[in-house]
Amino acid sequence: MRIIKRAALVRFWSQHPDAKGSLEAWYGVVRKAKWTTPLEMKQVYANARLVGRRTVFNIAGNKYRLIARVNVSQTVFVLHMLTHSDYHKRVWKS
């Protein structure tokens, strides 16, 4: 997979250093993935949730949320990196 906006991950872990290890691990796994269906993705990330055209990944033991658009064209667009409380404000859905 090609991941767009890795810089967003770096910015987030600069502000939340405890997320760095989990985000680096997520990046490494997703970069090597060749998912063609949501089911294949869910086999790796069982807790990932599909919300419309977006996928919500739990990061750092469910402390943070990574919201991305995962395309069958082998591209992942990082849309939002949020704390658990910011995620629940649902601003990202608008």
The CATH number linked to 26 is 3.30.2310
Query: Is-contact 65 57, C-beta < 8 A?
Result: yes
Whole-model pTM: value is: 0.88
Q: How many distinct structural domains can be found in the chain?
A: 1
Query: Count of H helices and E strands in the chain?
Result: 4, 5
The token duo for 17 is 């250093």
Instruction: Tell me the one-letter amino acid at 32.
Output: K
Q: In whole angstroms, give the CA distance from residue 66 to residue 78.
A: 7
pLDDT in the model for residue 91: 60
pLDDT of residue 94: 56
CB 28 within 8 A of CB 48: no
What separation in angstroms does the CA of 83 have from each of 20, 43, 44, 86?
A: 13, 25, 22, 5
Q: Which domain covers residue 14, as residue numbers?
A: 2-93
One pLDDT digit (tens) per residue for the chain, 94 residues? 899 989 999 999 999 999 999 999 999 999 999 988 889 999 999 999 999 899 999 999 889 999 999 988 899 999 999 987 787 776 666 5
pLDDT at 93: 61
